[in-house]
Amino acid sequence: TLVLGIETSCDETSAAVVENGAILRSNVISSQMEVHRRFGGVVPEVASRRHVERITEIIQQALNDAHVKQEDLSAIAVTQGPGLVGALLIGVAAAKAMAFAANLPLVGVHHIAGHIYAAHLMQPLQFPLVALVVSGGHTELVYMSDHNRFERLGRTRDDAAGEAYDKVARLLDLSYPGGPEIDRLSKEGKPIIDLPRAWLEPDSLDFSFSGLKSAVINLLHNAKQRGEVIHRADVAASFQESVVEVLTEKAVRAVRKQGVKHLVLAGGVSANSRLRQELLHRCQKENIHLTIPSMELCTDNAAMIAAAGTFRYLDGQTDGLDLNAKPDLSLI
Ligand code: ATP
Ligand code: MG
Ligand code: FE
């Protein structure tokens, strides 16, 4: 089974070819990061325009890199949502046009299902499993009993982890996207500042990061008022420590609660070096089998969409040419 994946939900224009949902044949990613950096965040209209400009050549390149012709494909998978509506529409329109022209089945994919299936490109997913999804717009614990079967165990009640990274980075005058910047700066500092951890109710698998963000705002504000010097690297390291501690602990709790052996890390924040290190360490200690996507597969890419789409396709979950972008598409 050869599936072409297309992803345009935010600021990456990407197309990929995946074989049997597991083997990466090509993965072309064109990031718009440089374009949005000077605005300090993604500008939706600019993102849509860039997707339009690049989508055709990116799809062509994905096919070329994989040495695959349109007629070799089994299906076309595309991110249907969630994401920026104008950005999603470009990928959906391109996928529909190609599916119609080549008479191929079309499969709409949930972006977060895609992030989870990035792990399948590393190692076959083993069910049942728990996935810790940490990205720019999501922070959730998801239970999967089998392919295509998702159940939500917990979610953020306010900011997503990646969103918190990006907002705190802004407070520290770091550039966009802030996650990698904080990751880098943390290595020059020590987590010596006491910042809150939002554990919520004793058995809750939900998350909250807005209190942590406020604590950083107050810390910086008070230091400025008192004329104290504050080491940004220490703030970054302390913030990161708080985030990573809560994510790791709740992921392990979810694994225990569900009585599973497998944990999957997914989403852009899984590129975080401290989170990878800490989770790996905890899972070794607890005898949990952990799969972490490679760096390229952590952030937005079409290979993960092709992988997730393959299993929907094999399950007969294809879509008609009336498929529409859904900015608030739900996973469950
Ligand atoms: P969603 O997947 O929820 O729709 P998104 O697609 O915008 O949101 P991703 O591309 O999956 O998000 O991830 C981007 C997020 O990951 C950003 O918030 C970014 O700061 C964060 N991120 C990337 N690398 C790192 C890192 N090394 N450490 C921490 N955060 C990181
Ligand atoms: Mg992005
Ligand atoms: Fe994403």
- Pair of tokens at residue 295: 């760096």
Q: Going residue by residue through the chain (332 aa), what tens digit of pLDDT does each one get?
A: 999 999 999 999 999 999 999 999 999 999 998 899 888 889 999 999 999 999 999 999 999 999 999 999 999 999 999 999 999 999 999 999 999 999 999 999 999 999 999 999 999 999 999 999 999 999 999 999 999 999 999 999 999 999 999 999 999 999 989 999 999 999 999 999 999 999 999 999 999 999 999 999 999 999 999 999 999 999 999 999 999 999 999 999 999 999 999 999 999 999 999 999 999 999 999 999 999 999 999 999 999 999 999 999 999 999 999 999 999 999 98
In Å, how far are 98, 127, 160 from 63, measured between CA atoms? 13, 31, 34
Closest ligand 1 atom to Cα of 298: 11
Centre of ligand 2 to C-alpha 285, Å, is: 33
Distance CA 15, CA 4 (A): 7
Q: What is the dihedral of CA 112, 65, 51, 169, to 10 degrees?
A: 60
List the shell of residues around ion ligand 3, using CB closer than 5 Å. 135, 300
Phi, psi of 139 (to 5 degrees): -145, 105
d(CA 280, CA 79): 30
**Per-position b or e across 114-137, b if 16+ CB within 10 A of its CB:** bbbbbbbbeeebeebbbbbbbbbb
Length of the chain: 332
H-only helix segments in the chain: 33-37, 44-66, 85-102, 111-117, 161-171, 178-186, 210-225, 232-258, 273-286, 295-298, 302-314
Sequence ranges of the binding site: 111, 115, 133-137, 166, 179, 183, 272, 300
ipTM, two decimals, is 0.98
Looking at this protein, which amino acid is placed at residue 99? A
Residues with CB under 5 A from ligand 2 (ion): 10-11, 300
Q: Ligand 1: residues within 6 Å at CB?
A: 9-10, 82-83, 111, 115, 135-138, 162, 165-166, 177-180, 183, 267-269, 271-272, 299-300
Which amino acid is it at 100?
F
